[in-house]
Amino acid sequence: MVARGVMLGPDQPVILHMLDIEPAAEALKGVKMELIDAAFPLLKGVLATTDVVEACTGVNIAVMVGGFPRKEGMERKDVMSKNVSIYKAQASALEKHAAADCKVLVVANPANTNALILKEFAPSIPEKNITCLTRLDHNRALGQISERVNVQVSDVKNVIIWGNHSSTQYPDVNHATVNTSSGEKPVRELVADDKWLNGDFITTVQQRGAAIIKARKLSSALSAASSACDHIRDWVLGTPKGTWVSMGVYSDGSYGIQSGLIYSFPVTCEGGKWSIVQGLKVDEFSREKMDATAKELMEEKSLAYSCLN
């Protein structure tokens, strides 16, 4: 997808640096061969390496997909200690060798907390440049609404994922709309089923990652890759007017969310910078759910720090 221009647009040449662990070196070589064989016009170079320093040198965009994977039945917390050490090492390499304005997207779980660890150990990378993926959850929410209302997914917008990329995340449709032949309509008006919107819709989106693991015996792949491209594309090239997206970003205290957490907020992007959408009304139901997912992130943060020690 990156080599085809899905991430950075059809006019942006790319050089791919791919990092994997030693046991996967041979398979990684195979991926490099395939990239060459696909003759992507935008692909100006491919580096396949098991050396973290070589991989990080000079990169402008780092998509951190490597981590210890969650297997069926495992909780995200189970994989925390393994990932904390991986992210500490990769943060140090990015800190020393990446381009000064490197933008970082953490995909591997626990994504928010991995991003926080990365931020801690790469202090010279501006905190605004370190993000995690909740666009997958955002897209899942759009998909659920489009199925329910029976409209094109591209006609649904402005859902919000608040908080952690985990089962405590809060998918919020209170400001979401659908583009209809008679103009933009609130999702709540078109669905007109608060029981579903406040119940099954939320749990379906929260549990979608686990449902995919159950079905595939593997984590989401296509949807995660596509959402990662969406995340970077909108961050670099900007969000469409009147539309926001969800990104896990360093909290500045907006919406009463404690600063010092990487928390998913609604954001708009312009000129390569994201800003949290301000002034949205938060009702009591939402407040409770936003705080619950923040609480989980605080617990993850303490767990991660205990693993570091």
**Judged by CB under 6 A, does residue 209 bind ligand LMR?**
yes
Tokens read off for 284: 């009591």
Q: Please report whether residue 142 would count as binding ligand LMR according to CB under 6 A.
A: no
Q: Count residues contacting ligand LMR (CB under 6 A)?
A: 8
Nearest distance, CB of residue 16 and ligand LMR, angstroms: 23
Q: Which of 265, 286, 140 is nearest to 201 (CA)?
A: 140
Q: What are phi and psi of 46, to 5 degrees?
A: -135, 130
Cβ distance to ligand LMR smaller for residue 224 or 304: 224
Is 17 tagged catalytic? Answer: no
Phi, psi at 281, each rounded to 5° = -75, 135
Q: Which of 91, 136, 176, 261 binds ligand LMR (CB under 6 A)?
A: 136
With tokens 């992507």, the residue in question is 40
Q: Residue 232: which of 276, 269, 284 has the closest Cα?
A: 269
Q: How many C-beta atoms surround the C-beta of residue 241 within 10 A?
A: 7
Residue count (the chain):
309
Q: Does the protein bind ligand LMR through residue 109 (CB under 6 A)?
A: yes
Place of tokens 């139901």: 285
Beta carbon of residue 212, minimum distance to ligand LMR (angstroms, whole number)? 5
Give the angle 111-74-260 at the CA atoms, nearest 5°.
Answer: 30
Nearest residue (CB) to ligand LMR, 86 versus 136: 136
Using rule CB under 6 A, residue 212 touches ligand LMR: yes
Provide the minimum distance between the beta carbon of 1 and ligand LMR in the complex, in angstroms, as a whole number.
Answer: 17
> Among the candidate windows 118-126, 219-227, 239-247, 275-283, which touches ligand LMR by CB under 6 A?
219-227
- Name which position in 83, 220, 246, 251 contacts ligand LMR (CB under 6 A): 220
Residue 191 Cβ, how far from ligand LMR at the closest point, in Å?
23
**Binding track over 274-293 against ligand LMR, x by CB under 6 A:** --------------------
Q: Is 84 in the site for ligand LMR (CB under 6 A)?
A: no
Segment interacting with ligand LMR (CB under 6 A) among 120-128, 153-161, 218-226, 264-272 = 218-226
Residue choice 167, 219, 254, 258 for contact with ligand LMR (CB under 6 A): 219
Alpha-helical runs (H) found in the chain: 25-37, 52-56, 80-97, 111-121, 135-149, 187-191, 194-197, 200-216, 222-237, 284-308
Tell me the pairing of strands 170-172 and 177-180: unpaired
Nearest one of 79, 74, 130 to 103, comparing CA atoms: 130
- How far is it, in rounded angstroms, from Cα 27 to Cα 23? 9
Answer yes or no whether residue 65 interacts with ligand LMR by CB under 6 A: no
Phi, psi (deg, nearest 5) at residue 106:
-95, 125
Under the binding rule (CB under 6 A), the answer on residue 168 touching ligand LMR is no
Among 17, 97, 138, 165, the active-site one is: 165
Residues of this chain that interact with ligand LMR (CB under 6 A) are 70, 109, 136, 209, 212, 219-220, 224
Catalytic residue numbers, as ranges: 165
